[in-house]
């Protein structure tokens, strides 16, 4: 009986040691966007969020702003990283501090 208790304690101690080792392993940090400046084509999502697909087509930003730019126009935005949850579900969520139309329209 005493041997079983000792075996149980050894196994429990080993499991705790492994769990503690994993808990202290540093996690890789995700790159955080701090400031954004981009030019791209505007689309308006069903949920009312503005989507900006960059001219190179590699990145899509999403944000809410008032007044909204017209869909199908090319704009330049400046913004900062969004902190917290968002209703916008597509693209990288940002808080736009300023936007200006370029005078061009999207060609897609």
Give me the CATH number covering residue 80.
2.40.50.140
Tracing tokens 């503005």 back to the chain, one arrives at 50
Q: Quick check: bond before 67 cis, omega within 30?
A: yes
Cross-strand bridge partners of residue 2: none
Q: Is residue 74 part of a domain?
A: yes
Give 29-62 pLDDT, tens digit per residue. Answer: 555 668 999 999 999 999 899 999 999 999 999 9
| Residue 101 within a domain | yes
Tokens of 24: 């202290």
Q: Could you tell me which residue, 80 or 16, shows the higher pLDDT?
A: 80
Structural domain count of the chain: 1
User: What does pTM read for this prediction?
Assistant: 0.68
Confirm if 56 and 38 have CB atoms less than 8 A apart: no
């Amino acid at each position: 009986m005493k041997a079983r208790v000792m075996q149980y304690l050894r196994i429990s101690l080993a499991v705790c040691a492994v769990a503690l080792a994993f808990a202290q392993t540093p996690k890789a940090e995700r790159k955080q966007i701090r400031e954004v400046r981009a030019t791209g084509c505007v689309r308006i999502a069903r949920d009312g969020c503005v989507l900006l697909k960059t001219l190179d087509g590699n990145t899509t930003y999403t944000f809410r702003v008032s007044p909204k730019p017209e869909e199908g126009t090319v704009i330049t935005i400046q913004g900062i990283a969004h902190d917290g949850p968002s209703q916008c579900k597509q693209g990288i969520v940002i808080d736009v501090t300023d936007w200006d139309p370029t005078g061009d329209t999207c060609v897609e």
